[in-house]
With several copies, the nearest count.
Chain A
Amino acid sequence: MTLPPLLEARGLVRDFGPHRAVADVDLTLDVGELMALFGPNGAGKSTLLRLLSGSLRPTEGELHFRGVPFMPGDPRVARQVGVLSHRSFLYRHLTARENLRFYGRLYGVVGLEERVARRLETVGLQARMDHRVATFSRGMVQRLALARTLLHDPALVVLDEPFTGLDLDAALRLSRVLTEVRSDQRAVILVTHDLQRGRELATRVGVMSRGRLEVQAPAHSLDGPGLEALYRRVVEVPS
């Protein structure tokens, strides 16, 4: 018997008034996969991720998580998804630790304290954990946001430009963590503008343009120049 895919999207559409941000996207994501999404500004990547992570209601189309259809706000799914968006979702007046504790409680994380400590250590913020987020540098905020995203060991990790503001060291840590997640019967989908880094991390790459997910290809089937060529072809060719 074969298990249903972790996440499956059929005919996803999202309109903002007259503007169609995501147009008819089909996508399946299986455990052990790490998908990297590329595309020009305004292609609809963030909107697609918001749809997949259930923080935005699709205008049309349906979503299945482990074979069961779901709508935004379904707790069974929410518990297993971790999301990093353009904004950090953090409270500027609470300390790093208080932020994680708070979210940990809402996710019903068990053994919260030492889990929080561990995550803070993964992103290298132990030293600052009792400082208010308002005093953090951009990269520190991004690190904390990542810790928040991974806090409850989500089965599906959704990351929108996760490398933003991270220094070399932090970026390296993140790559390592993501590879672990992938190889641990969980799945990752991320958006980035850095083709090479995306390709190296991913098992599969996809390119969006004008709201459409134009191509998908296994990462190993492409080398650096190959991916760039593909990207350019998709973006230039008006579909």
Chain B
Amino acid sequence: MSLRMIRWTALTLATAGLVLAVLFHWQVFFRVPTEASMGLVQRIFYIHAPAAWVAFLAFGIVALCSAVYLWLGEARLDRAALAAAEGGFVFTTIVLLTGPLWGKIAWGTWWTWEPRLTLTLLLWFIYLSYFLVRGATENPGRSQRFAAVVGIVGALNIPLIHISVLWFRSLHPQPVVVRADGPSLHPDMLNTLLTAMGSFTLLFLALFLLRYSVERMGDRADALVREQLHPTPGPTPRA
């Protein structure tokens, strides 16, 4: 797929995502029933949870691309992983912002030491180091492999985060959607959640593609520089 095409798809996805975003905000504010125990704040849920899931999706992509990159050594995959990682980082940050907002009202505290919260924070740190490692070596190929390894290992945390609320006694609510016996939500809540989910996913994909194309352009630039430094050979002197 040519860069131009990539950028166009990215833009279309972005617009679609924004439309959905408007839609689900409308739903959030005018449609869904207010949740009984927590009241209005509960509506953060429609940003909070989808953001988390999209982040998971993103890091899943990172792990996948990284693994295949290590296997095939295909530079594009590394670029893809990087792009996805940045998306995931953003959405994790959103979770880490909306969570406390909610918590302040639902639990009366911004933050508490509680498995899911902590693990999420640590997830954020792992991908911080993912970006650090990239910049920190003498030769590019190496840092990309390092990053890939970090990306893969980091993703191992995700299932742990999901399960954490089940394993440990914890404040954080149990799964209400992704659970053995199907979703336990008011249908309006559910489809609002799904709209939000869709919107975030589209936005993420748009971001992902844009970053990817930027990375690719960077590679092109390098190639051009190289071409200038080493023009294709002329006639070489013979002995």
Instruction: Give the B-binding residues of A (Cβ under 8 A).
Output: 15-20, 23-24, 57, 132, 134-135, 210-212, 214-217, 221-222, 230, 233-234, 237, 239
Which of B211-239 touch A at CB < 8 Å?
Answer: 222, 225-226, 229-230, 233-234, 236-239
Instruction: Give the A-binding residues of B (Cβ under 8 A).
Output: 73, 138-141, 222, 225-226, 229-230, 233-234, 236-239
Contact call B226/A239, Cβ cutoff below 8 A: no
Given contacts A57-B141, A135-B138, contact A214 B230 (CB under 8 A): no
**C-alpha spacing A17/B138, complex, angstroms:** 10
Given contacts A215-B237, A216-B239, A239-B236, contact A16 B229 (CB under 8 A): no
A143 to chain B minimum Cβ distance, whole angstroms, is 19
Contact call A215/B139, Cβ cutoff below 8 A: no
- Among residues of B, the one whose C-beta sits closest to the C-beta of A15 is B226
Contact call B138/A215, Cβ cutoff below 8 A: no
Contact call B229/A234, Cβ cutoff below 8 A: no
Contact call B239/A211, Cβ cutoff below 8 A: no
Q: Which of B73, B140, B229 contacts A20 (CB 8 A)?
A: B229
A116 to chain B minimum Cβ distance, whole angstroms, is 24
Q: How many A-B residue pairs have CB under 8 A?
A: 46
Contact call B237/A23, Cβ cutoff below 8 A: no
Contact call A18/B225, Cβ cutoff below 8 A: yes
A sample of 23 inter-chain contacts (CB < 8 A) reads: A15-B226, A16-B140, A17-B140, A18-B225, A19-B226, A20-B226, A20-B229, A20-B230, A23-B230, A23-B233, A24-B233, A57-B73, A132-B138, A210-B230, A212-B233, A212-B236, A215-B236, A215-B237, A230-B237, A234-B237, A237-B237, A239-B234, A239-B236
Interface of B is mostly: loop
When distances are taken between beta carbons in the complex, the residues of chain A under 8 Å from B236 are 212, 214-215, 239
When distances are taken between beta carbons in the complex, the residues of chain B under 8 Å from A234 are 237
- Among residues of B, the one whose C-beta sits closest to the C-beta of A71 is B73
> What 18 new A-B contacts, CB under 8 Å, besides A17-B222, A19-B229, A134-B138?
A15-B222, A15-B226, A16-B139, A17-B140, A18-B226, A20-B226, A20-B229, A20-B230, A212-B236, A214-B236, A214-B237, A215-B239, A216-B239, A230-B239, A234-B237, A239-B233, A239-B234, A239-B236
When distances are taken between beta carbons in the complex, the residues of chain B under 8 Å from A17 are 139-140, 222
- Among residues of A, the one whose C-beta sits closest to the C-beta of B224 is A18
**C-alpha spacing A237/B229, complex, angstroms:** 15
When distances are taken between beta carbons in the complex, the residues of chain A under 8 Å from B234 are 239
When distances are taken between beta carbons in the complex, the residues of chain A under 8 Å from B226 are 15, 18-20
**C-alpha spacing A132/B138, complex, angstroms:** 9
When distances are taken between beta carbons in the complex, the residues of chain B under 8 Å from A18 are 222, 225-226, 229
Given contacts A16-B139, A17-B222, contact A211 B237 (CB under 8 A): no
When distances are taken between beta carbons in the complex, the residues of chain B under 8 Å from A233 are 237
When distances are taken between beta carbons in the complex, the residues of chain A under 8 Å from B230 are 20, 23, 210-211
**C-alpha spacing A16/B229, complex, angstroms:** 13
- Among residues of A, the one whose C-beta sits closest to the C-beta of B138 is A134
**C-alpha spacing A237/B230, complex, angstroms:** 14
A232 to chain B minimum Cβ distance, whole angstroms, is 11
When distances are taken between beta carbons in the complex, the residues of chain A under 8 Å from B229 are 18-20
**C-alpha spacing A233/B235, complex, angstroms:** 13
Given contacts A17-B222, A18-B222, A23-B230, contact A215 B238 (CB under 8 A): yes
When distances are taken between beta carbons in the complex, the residues of chain A under 8 Å from B73 are 57
When distances are taken between beta carbons in the complex, the residues of chain B under 8 Å from A214 are 236-237
- Among residues of B, the one whose C-beta sits closest to the C-beta of A216 is B239
- Most central of B230, B236, B238 by chain A CB within 10 Å: B230
Nearest 5 CB-CB pairings of A with B: A217-B239, A18-B225, A18-B222, A20-B230, A215-B239
